[in-house]
Structure 1
């Protein structure tokens, strides 16, 4: 069990030491991946960028994700579940989520470091269904990186095997066959992070890099 996201990020950064002094861009899924990405970025001395995804939630069960959408990539679906919802509802839902992503990008700023010809390391605080990570991978592929690495504190083995087919490398601290049902089960503290808190952490990291 990890103490918190910062602790998980430090442990994950140690497993990524091979990428130090290489041309790397770290991409953190917002919001939970940002504290992880900050620690990885510091250890690898690599720029940190945010990648925005949104879960597509079931119209009658909002705690159940049936897909995910990213800023620039394709929508990722659970095909059997998407077949049960109306096309008009899905179209409207995706438009709404795209607008939310656009707002987040405006609030947090444009990407300054692209992964073209570099190694892209995509991080988050954990993976359950994997929809948001798959959407993020498709998004980052649009930048034509030379290599894509998914770095994650905990991931179910079945999902990890799927990611193995999508990216060049999956780096995990716990690649588990006995997944505990939720990412939060692996953290003593998994605080909810507001936009303001994330902006403050990012600004602190960037200002310390300038010293």
Structure 2
């Protein structure tokens, strides 16, 4: 299990960041206060992770790129997921949740194929001129705007691990305690400013301003 590093002053609090850029700047400064990170490479999960990742990369003077991952949505819903698909085709399914939901193999297969198509579309849209820099022997910092279930991040971790980084760090502004513990088992270190326990958790509760970023906003972030 990797080390979990948080900010004790922000534990269990809500509305601790004005927005994603503020969260990224705060997280970047926090990372700078930790022991030196050698050869960092920041990979952000779109959409919400892009402004966070850009600020971290700026603080560390590190290269910045994307890790395209999408949740596999539960049929009939627009937000809830039961797994994730990553840019290299990696599929991760929450089997426990799948069984609770009673999803058939056919339903799972259709949902996964729809998600794969969506991932391919986002890779084409966001990564046209942005190839991922070499990962081998780098300290890769994977980031998003928060961890709810953590399965999207787990899929990204599985992909990056196969590319041979020297160290793998997940750095996020906010996370549920259960997800932080789960994800930390897969990485060398998990850095999260605002960890919250309890049955109910929403990433949005850590922010004063929260909305889903549109693709045009992500493209504007990438072009700035």
Q: State the TM-score, normalized to the length of structure 2.
A: 0.84
Deviation at 1:19, TM superposition (A): 7.0
Instruction: Tell me what 1:168 maps to.
Output: 188
Instruction: Tell me what 1:22 maps to.
Output: 38
SS of the residue aligned with 1:166? Answer: coil
Number of residue equivalences: 204
Report Cα offsets for 1:79-132 as digits up to 9, x if no partner: 123232121222222122111111111111242412111111001111111111
Q: Matched residues in 2 for 1:49 and 1:64: separation?
A: 26
In structure 2, relative to structure 1, the CA distance for the partners of 1:179 and 1:35 (3 Å cut) is: farther
Report Cα offsets for 1:41-78 as digits up to 9, x if no partner: 10111111111111112214443221111112532222
Instruction: Tell me what 1:3 maps to.
Output: 18
Q: State the TM-score, normalized to the length of structure 1.
A: 0.89
SS of the residue aligned with 2:213? Answer: coil
Q: Matched residues in 1 for 2:146 and 2:52: separation?
A: 10
Structure 1: runs of 5+ lacking an equivalent? 205-211
Question: Is 1:141 equivalent to 2:161 in the alignment?
Answer: yes
8 Å CA contact retained: 2:148, 2:175:
yes
User: Where in structure 2 are the equivalents of 1:73-112 lying within 5 Å?
Assistant: 74-83=90-99, 84-109=102-127, 110-112=130-132
In structure 2, relative to structure 1, the CA distance for the partners of 1:19 and 1:202 (3 Å cut) is: farther
Q: Matched residues in 2 for 1:55 and 1:112: separation?
A: 21
In structure 2, relative to structure 1, the CA distance for the partners of 1:103 and 1:152 (3 Å cut) is: same
Instruction: Tell me what 1:194 maps to.
Output: 214
8 Å CA contact retained: 1:73, 1:136:
no
Q: Matched residues in 2 for 1:2 and 1:21: separation?
A: 24
Which structure exhibits the higher relative contact order, with contacts defined as CA atoms closer than 8 Å and separated by 6 or more residues?
2
**Relative to structure 2, which stretch is displaced further, 154-163 or 173-182?**
173-182
Q: Matched residues in 2 for 1:38 and 1:148: separation?
A: 18
Structure with the larger helix share: 1
8 Å CA contact retained: 2:147, 2:180:
no
8 Å CA contact retained: 1:151, 1:171:
yes
In structure 2, relative to structure 1, the CA distance for the partners of 1:102 and 1:126 (3 Å cut) is: same
Alpha carbon RMSD of aligned pairs, Å? 1.8
Deviation at 1:21, TM superposition (A): 7.0
Q: Matched residues in 2 for 1:97 and 1:176: separation?
A: 29
Q: Matched residues in 2 for 1:193 and 1:88: separation?
A: 31
8 Å CA contact retained: 2:86, 2:159:
yes
